[in-house]
């Protein structure tokens, strides 16, 4: 039996196609005019299939007797002459083009949604390109694969295809539209069964047969959508684009449109099928020989762009299932944002480097005529989408917006670097040609090239699956040069990824590369190779595969996050820490919206449990999360986690404890580039050598260490002192009531009240530490004195400060606070005598700390002040500090206000956080 082959001939095909004897025999048999042409395959059973076009007749399968008479047979399509009044195709901005992907037409309801969008579009004329229903193209390819593998299940798989479209049509259509569609569907399925049977027997399918089979999904979805739109009263027809769109397949698995021929055929088609709304099949086309073909993957987008160019349409809208084009893959970068606009070149570059934008070839047709492409989400019509257009259109927009010079970032994984180097390459013409000629010979795809200006080495990236063949080809090609030492090596570096930064404005903006590489350096990413075109639309770097996501996050954050995005770790969620967290919760949204300060608490840790987050904790329920999802506390792990988020530009640790062990880590944290903010007095009042080492590091680095709340809680004591010193004033003396607890006690220790009663009252009100001896000992005041003394340049140790303790010597060894409070009344007589002595002299008692800068000493003691002295005017737990300086010698500079309590202390810490943000670039 003869081996026969064939292909489809569209109604609009040229009648001058080759007509073998088999075709003539069929023509004679049918008594009709047909056009027949051979295909390269001679291995399939003779079949005559018809296209799904409604005007094409079909001959299903010829009997063996007829086939035996022929040397060749062709799959033919019968053209029927139709006499219609010609209509001229109008072109220009009256046309809008829509493209609906497979997800958009995935079921009957979604097809209705597409119809509604088309109907609501008030454009004068509309052309709509549709893909096959979701998964149908894959199902059609699967049919081919099963048939080629002689897997009988292709029959059941085809039944599934039939049922999917039958059930959808039953939901959507009715009456003659339904019966007509189902009739065509049944005929198509019958013909596909015959063709798949032939493929099953032959065990092989030609490319043209495959393209014919897989293109049916678009035919069916276009017919259904056009029927739905017609039901609304719209003037709508559907187009089999194989009759119009002519492309030249290439060896690179692509297709080049023949715009001249396609325009002629579109004009001819429209003259016979005038309509204000046209539903066209995506993905499928024909060759110049009228052989059905496809535009390969992403072909429907390409179809829409080609049709938009042919019509010179106003706009092409690509409907999909995302809100637009992201600045980076949102699965890898949680901070990725939807881009409002992209230039054609930016979209082109991003899609080349793997971003889910559009295939680069989709952009070429619309670029010719400056037709904008709009990417929109069919499932979120409120989202404006991303507009891709000529850069001049972006520049001309009325309200220019401040945005990153780098528009987006994309990555390509599973690559390997090939490095060819040697002194013999320098200045030798043809070396690069020989290298890439060898690469071409093995069919490998070169993703990126980097060459040193010395020509000592050429480095390029290829897919990892192709690198072995490339390396072997290069080694063979340059075996003589390698043996002679002119080339030193052909080296392969596996497990690589490419990271590309893309942006139109990069070309005219100094410092983009510096910013990019600075972000990578801060994230501790090593760059293996670099490439940048002279157009500067992209900067490409090669990194290790395991570093790729971290690198992507690092560079994206540097260009897209605010410079004042700060990763925070809160140490000590006690009274002060929890109050700070509440303040952060209440104010974070305002700071982000009004001041562009983005504060993210990445972790909270106590001594026993800690809570970590990769994106920032929800502070509305952090206590519950810490209790339910917290893990064992580990300070080193905590710090590493908070600092490890390389995609956030800045890291700060806020120590809300009074722990000397935590304070001992400050130096190491600052050295690693972590900012530190704290009310903890231990570091600044600890051993002098450690303090001096810490301050020296702070001055040498760009890392900040703020500790305003160590003295005076929320009062601006440290900042006031710094301001005086930095403006050249000379500090003579600092004297003050530094303890809110002792301020309260002495403000209320008046008249006949026993001292112990006032202490008990302060304890009950929560002003004292759990053990009041911690306040009455004066040690806390002494630490504040030391801090201020050291700020003034005095090199004092805590042991150098004389402290008058208010804890009776015999009570210092009490086993508990309760025992101390029980025995304290025994010593009221002594304190009452001192109070009476002061009152008799018209004075008051106050517990103060003094920094005597002139005499280079400090002291903590109880002193008497006249009743008209500022220190005598205090109430409650207020602090008051007097600065006597060269400028403020006659009348000291006074700072007064609440000096105790969780709210004011947390407020002081919060103020330091905002000061850090201002240092990092936040608006003042």
CATH class of segment(s) 95-321: alpha beta
Length of the chain: 924
Q: Any residues with CB less than 8 A from the CB of 73 and at least 6 apart, and which? A: 2, 4, 5, 6, 20, 22, 23, 26, 46, 47, 48, 62, 67
Q: Any residues with CB less than 8 A from the CB of 439 and at least 6 apart, and which? A: 446, 460, 462, 470, 473, 474
pLDDT for 424 equals: 67
- Per-residue tokens: 200: 């099953």
What CATH architecture is 717-899? 2-Layer Sandwich (3.30)
Which CATH number applies to 564-712+912-920: 3.40.50.620, 3.40.50.720, 3.30.530.20, 3.40.50.1820? 3.40.50.720
* Dihedral Cα 758, 764, 769, 775, nearest 10 deg: 0
**Spatial distance between the Cα atoms of 308 and 63, rounded to a whole number of angstroms:** 45
pLDDT for 747 equals: 93
Element (H, E) at 238: strand 236-239
Q: So where are the chain's domains?
A: 95-321, 406-561, 564-712+912-920, 717-899
> Angle at which helices 136-148 and 154-172 pack, to 10 degrees?
160
pLDDT for 536 equals: 66
**Residues classed as catalytic:** 784
Helical ranges in 239-286 per DSSP H: 259-272
**Spatial distance between the Cα atoms of 889 and 166, rounded to a whole number of angstroms:** 96
pLDDT for 61 equals: 34
Low-confidence ranges of the chain (pLDDT < 50): 1-85, 396-403
Q: By the 8 A CB rule, do 362 and 302 touch?
A: yes
Q: Which of 220, 240, 54 is nearest to 132 (CA)?
A: 220
CATH class of segment(s) 406-561: alpha beta
């Amino acid at each position: 039996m003869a081996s026969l082959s064939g292909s489809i001939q569209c109604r609009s095909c040229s009648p001058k196609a080759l007509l073998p004897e088999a075709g003539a025999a069929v023509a004679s048999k049918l008594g009709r005019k047909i056009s027949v042409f051979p295909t390269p395959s001679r291995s399939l059973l003779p079949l005559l299939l018809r296209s799904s076009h409604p005007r094409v007749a079909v001959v299903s399968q010829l009997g063996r007797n007829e086939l035996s008479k022929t040397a060749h047979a062709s799959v033919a399509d019968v053209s029927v002459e139709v006499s219609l009044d010609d209509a001229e195709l109008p072109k220009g901005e009256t046309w809008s083009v829509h493209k609906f992907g497979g997800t958009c037409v995935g079921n009957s309801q979604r097809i209705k949604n597409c119809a509604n969008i088309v109907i609501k579009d008030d454009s004068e004329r509309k052309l709509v390109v549709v893909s096959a229903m979701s998964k149908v193209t894959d199902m059609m390819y699967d049919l081919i694969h099963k048939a080629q593998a002689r897997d009988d299940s292709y029959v059941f798989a085809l039944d599934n295809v039939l049922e999917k479209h039958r059930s959808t049509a039953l939901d959507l259509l009715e009456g003659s539209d339904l019966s007509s569609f189902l009739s065509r569907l049944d005929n198509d399925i019958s013909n596909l069964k015959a063709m798949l049977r032939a493929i099953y027997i032959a065990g092989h399918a030609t490319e043209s047969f495959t393209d014919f089979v897989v293109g049916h999904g678009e035919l069916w979805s276009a017919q259904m959508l056009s029927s739905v739109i017609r039901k609304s009263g719209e003037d709508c027809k559907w187009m089999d684009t194989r009759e119009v769109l002519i492309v030249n397949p290439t060896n690179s698995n692509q297709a080049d449109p023949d715009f001249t021929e396609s325009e002629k055929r579109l004009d001819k088609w429209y003259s016979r099928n005038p309509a204000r709304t046209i539903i066209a099949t995506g993905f499928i086309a024909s060759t110049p020989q009228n052989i059905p073909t496809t535009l390969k993957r992403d072909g429907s987008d390409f179809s829409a762009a080609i049709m938009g160019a042919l019509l010179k349409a106003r706009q092409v809208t690509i409907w999909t299932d995302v809100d637009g084009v992201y600045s980076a893959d949102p699965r890898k970068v949680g901070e990725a944002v939807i881009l409002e606009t992209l230039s054609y070149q930016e979209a082109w570059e991003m899609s080349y480097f793997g971003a889910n934008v559009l295939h680069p070839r989709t952009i070429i047709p619309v670029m010719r005529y400056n037709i904008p492409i709009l990417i929109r989400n069919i499932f979120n019509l409120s989202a404006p989408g991303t507009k891709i257009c000529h850069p001049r259109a972006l520049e001309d927009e009325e309200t220019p917006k401040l945005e990153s010079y780098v528009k987006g970032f994309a990555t390509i994984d599973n690559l390997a670097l090939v490095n060819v180097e040697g002194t013999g390459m320098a200045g030798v013409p043809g070396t690069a040609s020989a290298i890439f000629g060898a690469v071409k010979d093995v069919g490998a795809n070169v993703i990126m090239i980097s060459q040193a200006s010395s020509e000592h080495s050429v480095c390029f990236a290829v897919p990892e699956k192709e690198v072995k063949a490339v390396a072997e080809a290069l080694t063979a090609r340059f075996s003589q040069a390698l043996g002679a030492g002119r080339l030193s090596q052909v080296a392969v570096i596996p497990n690589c990824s490419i990271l590309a930064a893309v942006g139109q404005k990069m070309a005219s903006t100094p410092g983009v590369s510096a910013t990019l590489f600075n972000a990578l350096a801060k994230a501790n990413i090593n760059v293996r190779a670099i490439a940048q075109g002279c157009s500067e639309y992209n900067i490409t770097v090669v990194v290790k595969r395991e570093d790729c996501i971290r690198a992507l996050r690092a560079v994206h954050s540097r260009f897209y996050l605010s410079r004042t995005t700060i990763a925070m770790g809160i140490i000590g969620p006690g009274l002060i820490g929890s109050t700070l967290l509440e303040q952060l919760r209440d104010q974070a949204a305002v700071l982000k919206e009004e001041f562009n300060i983005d504060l993210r608490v990445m972790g909270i840790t106590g001594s026993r449990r800690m809570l970590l987050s990769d994106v920032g904790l929800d502070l509305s329920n952090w206590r519950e999360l810490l209790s339910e999802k917290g893990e064992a506390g580990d300070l080193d792990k905590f710090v590493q986690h908070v600092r490890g988020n390389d995609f956030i530009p800045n890291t700060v640790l806020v120590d809300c404890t009074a722990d000397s062990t935590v304070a001992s880590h400050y130096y190491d944290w600052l050295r690693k580039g972590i900012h530190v903010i704290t009310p903890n007095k231990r570091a600044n009042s600890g051993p002098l050598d450690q303090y001096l080492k810490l301050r020296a590091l702070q001055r040498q680095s760009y890392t900040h260490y703020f500790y305003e709340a160590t003295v005076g809680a929320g009062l601006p004591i440290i900042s006031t002192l710094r301001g005086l010193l930095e403006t050249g004033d000379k500090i003579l003396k600092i004297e003050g009531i530094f303890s809110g607890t002792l301020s309260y006690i002495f403000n209320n220790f008046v008249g006949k009240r026993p001292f112990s009663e006032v202490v008990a009252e302060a304890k009950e009100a929560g002003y004292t530490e759990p053990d009041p001896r911690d306040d009455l000992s004066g040690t806390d005041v002494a630490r504040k004195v030391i801090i201020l003394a050291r700020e003034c340049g005095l090199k004092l140790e805590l042991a150098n400060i004389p402290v008058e303790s208010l804890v009776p010597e015999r009570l210092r060894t009490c086993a508990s606070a309760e025992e101390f409070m029980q025995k304290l009344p025994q010593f009221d007589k002594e304190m009452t005598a001192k109070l009476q002595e002061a009152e008799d002299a018209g004075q008051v008692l106050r517990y103060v700390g003094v920094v005597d800068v002139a005499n280079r000493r400090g002291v903590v003691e109880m002193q008497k002040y006249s009743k008209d002295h500022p220190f005598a005017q205090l109430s409650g737990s207020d602090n008051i500090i007097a600065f006597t300086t060269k400028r403020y010698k006659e009348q000291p500079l006074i700072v007064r206000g609440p000096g105790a309590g969780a709210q004011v202390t947390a407020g002081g810490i919060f103020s330091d956080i905002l000061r850090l943000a201002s240092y990092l670039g936040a608006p003042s």
